[in-house]
Structure 1
């Protein structure tokens, strides 16, 4: 879709407002709305001005003027606004029209341009599986006189004895995978989400209830190129959250909102193509993978400790990344082991569908940064021929839980905390700087923002500490 098409849609659909959307460094979307009569060719050529100092990770107040440049190919009609509104995703530029280097979408676009410059492939495709919870209530507070959180769901196993109207069919702990109605009470809501996603341009493949209790779900949409998939993921989250709100529920992509049950991940499928030729397939290889694919895996696993600072960037991420909850904490690759950081799908896979699945990430990641970083790690593995078999990353097709302690000790693990991951990123980020995709300023800003998160969490008194220490 180009500028002229968008302008014709505004006229034909009698659009009243155009909503221009940008994303901050952390991955939160922001928007500014303009009456449709004020939007013309000049808007697309000159952009929309905004204050960059008010966005997390952007400019300071003395140099705050910035411009959002609309990308007409991202336009879609917003189903949640009463006045007919067209939403458009924007790139961010400086007042002199040069790209702003901290713009996450700009980083994703530079990663795609760098891929083509290397001559290794013409396109990288990404397909995230973003899990979420739909709660009926969420309350939390943190202050000098106390801190707490409380969540609730009509599906939750802890409500089996709830008084009042209680119709049973609660989801058991770790018992939520694929149950039919009435145990799965959210099918109609997910159907509505999928319908709106399809109307907005996403190609929905399937949806289902997930493993955890209390309303965990998953909706899969078709893969696309790197930047387009990141755009689609933000659109996906927008629709999930707003449909949930419409039904009096609240959606969260937080990795570990429930103690003692599975968390929500974002398994990311990825592959490289040269034109129409898939580069990850080779019949007869391990899981029918090519050497190119194995080197790509080598890059992902070699740089995984640093990558995880971008793919799992919350302190809560590391409450999910613990053994025993299907968590991919083991830095190995496997064609069947779901506790491996990299899994190779083999069921019903054609040559063009041959891909690798990085299972460690979660949806607190900024998708533009996370996908770009994964691509850069994989390309580094290809360029340096980092063979994961020679580097001790597998393949490991045995049940890890059946291994001896000595065998388990040989397996490399993902970082155990956000601080460990940030330290790894400080020490290992040269691969991200290739082709000026990332720069040191972006990485330093990211690390500073995330260390501020850690400091806030560490300095807040935890209710569990009262249980452990109050009577000592």
Structure 2
């Protein structure tokens, strides 16, 4: 780890590193990069910032104020496992050249402000996040969209729908992919390759396994880390997973719901608050050993859940996943060890010796979210729950999907579409403005971007509509 630009450049010279790859993230959550040769670098440049065109980055500035600067953060640097030439990759934050101030629309700066706001409340000094990021490994994919034709076609040799073709017979049944042994699990070694690469760049991994969906759904679990670090690791995780698969002749998608009739991919987020190195969510007398503070945090997530979906489930495809029956919860309830609840309290470990493991799991988010924004928004909702003294509803310790229609009508649910989620965010966003973590400008810009995205889907005719309506 490097604390200064000078230390970073000394390492590059000593280890004969050829290039510095500077990375940052746009508003929707896609990483961008520029690559600089060692011969061009100096401490003064890294301190002053690398110039770039902000008007070409989605969600940033217009062309009339397009000049912006990237400031590398040396402590984030690590060697790129995939570069042909020896390359150090480093994460940056964005500043405005006119003022030298952090750019308010930079998602990384929003996460930094979220951590600072947490400290300012005096409630805690650290928010720990442990995301479970799911994805699919596929053999190939093709797609096209035009005014007169649209299609997608996926090849996934382990999928249940390939059983009618010649193969080796080790296909997984629909929704039957959880933790099988090889050869039914075809990608155990490939996941291990991914883990080795992740560990090589400093990301601690707990385990990997095949997930529920048939067509190559996977999960690699990262160890929890402070909010900003955890969000940064999600982006590195995506980069490593995609490139490891690409080197093996495969392709990876983090789409929330690529296939009809099978489970989608979530990003379940385990969360806890700590102060002075001690966990704050454990109480041996509380429900599921949760403290009152933890229950209020969970209540904030449930109360603001509909608005959170606009940031935690920000794609039209997200709402293909948020339907009952596919382990993607839609009912805003809390329960211990219950995967049909939006807020689940893991029930694996009990007792004071596991106080550091006591946490809540918010199961709604998916991998299409920008982790800097999603984690910050969840933290702000939880803090609002604590500050307002909120209490969660009575725990629903049964399968929420099996409730009667009458029982279901009493439960608050997540939005069913991206437009509905944006409506919720427009009416419930004051909690995000506390401590100037999010700005009204950012939220207005986000809503405009996502309204435009949703509108593009409303105007596009799909093959399903031809199937249902062509012959009316």
TM-score range, shorter chain: over 0.9
C-alpha contact 2:209 2:219 (8 A) present in aligned 1: yes
2:40 paired with 1:48: no
Equivalent residue number for residue 335 of structure 1: 336
Q: Note the 1:60-459 alignment, pairs <5 A.
A: 60-95=62-97, 96-163=99-166, 166-349=167-350, 350-388=354-392, 393-459=393-459
Name the CA distance, whole Å, in 1 between partners of 2:117 and 2:268. Answer: 24
The one-character-per-residue Cα deviations of 1:90-146 (angstroms, maximum 9, x if unpaired) are: 000000311100000000000000000111101101010000001111111110121
C-alpha contact 2:330 2:414 (8 A) present in aligned 1: yes
Name the CA distance, whole Å, in 2 between partners of 1:459 and 1:246. Answer: 37
1:295 Cα offset (Å): 0.5
Name the CA distance, whole Å, in 2 between partners of 1:401 and 1:362. Answer: 20
Aligned CA-pair RMSD = 0.9
Name the CA distance, whole Å, in 2 between partners of 1:312 and 1:431. Answer: 18
1:297 Cα offset (Å): 0.6
Matched position secondary structure for 2:129 = strand
Name the CA distance, whole Å, in 2 between partners of 1:59 and 1:154. Answer: 44
Aligned length: 466
Matched position secondary structure for 2:333 = strand
Name the CA distance, whole Å, in 2 between partners of 1:14 and 1:384. Answer: 55
The one-character-per-residue Cα deviations of 1:32-86 (angstroms, maximum 9, x if unpaired) are: 1100122221122111010000000000001000000000111010011110000
The one-character-per-residue Cα deviations of 1:215-250 (angstroms, maximum 9, x if unpaired) are: 100000111111110110000000000011111111
1:411 Cα offset (Å): 1.4
Deviates more, 1:345-354 or 1:326-335: 345-354
C-alpha contact 2:324 2:401 (8 A) present in aligned 1: no
Extract unaligned runs of 5+ from structure 2. Answer: none
Name the CA distance, whole Å, in 2 between partners of 1:238 and 1:404. Answer: 43
1:327 Cα offset (Å): 1.3
What's the TM-score, normalizing by structure 1?
Answer: 0.97
Name the CA distance, whole Å, in 2 between partners of 1:60 and 1:401. Answer: 46
Extract unaligned runs of 5+ from structure 1. Answer: none
Picking from 11, 29, 52, the partner of 1:27 is 29
The one-character-per-residue Cα deviations of 1:275-328 (angstroms, maximum 9, x if unpaired) are: 112111111210000010011011111000000100000010000000111111
Off by >3 Å, runs of 4+ in structure 1: none
